[in-house]
Structure 1
Amino acid sequence: MSDNQFLLESLPNEILIETFEYLDARDLFRAFYNLNSRFNELLQSLNEICLILSIRDRDEVIDDTIFLPYVNTLIVKYKTDVILNHYTTIRRLILICLPYTRPYKLETIILPHLEYLSIILKGSFSDFSWTLHKKFNRMR
């Protein structure tokens, strides 16, 4: 086991960061957080960390206090019971196939850093950024 650990630790930061981009925030932090100070620093230095919430997560207890401040992108799939005020650091919000989506209910107080909003309804793509631009100052 120590040989495998050594091989992983011997990889350069650039390769590790590239690999981290393919992992969901929960998996990323479960696998690498608190292994050693190098991994902690790498995780905290990432510019893009994505969290995907779906209906499969309904029964899973998520201890998100460790990684939540680092999540920049939140993707919500088929899940309606998401409390957005837990995700105040997100810059990108993607809602996929929610049964009832009302974008005007989103508030700048809850999502002060939101730059991008995408709502996908049953296979169609809708971009409400033009509608919400005045409400969210940071929207591009």
Structure 2
Amino acid sequence: AAAALGDYPFNAIAPCVAFLGDFPDYFGIVQWPGNTAKSNKGDMTDEEMYAFLSYFDTKNLATRIPSTTGVIACSGLQDGTCPPHTNIAPFNNLSTTDKQYYYYPEMQHTIPSDWDGLITAFFKAHMK
């Protein structure tokens, strides 16, 4: 969100297990936070709720990240909290071609043990 909304130009970002992406699909896959949002939406229809949430949807924010920003991202394919589909949706909407995605077939909702090394090398390569 900071790379999309801030005035500071980021050279590179490293989202791992991106959260709150592609709300309609996300809420259909997992119960939380969808059940909480739906039970607190007041008199909004689902369509109105999703329109409101679209302002915070990382899938939409990704389109605002400059094409000059390098991106390295990852997710676990067994993540039941932030399913892979909702992590990949923002990544697919990035305009940059300088992007890498790491899939961890057995990983659940956590950060992989090799992530620090990967992002350190990535950031070093993108320092100006």
- Whether TM-score is above 0.5 comes out as no
Higher relative contact order, structure no. (Cα contacts within 8 Å, ≥ 6 residues apart): 2
Q: Where is the helix percentage greater, Structure 1 or Structure 2?
A: 2
TM-score (norm 1): 0.27
Q: Which has the higher strand share?
A: 1
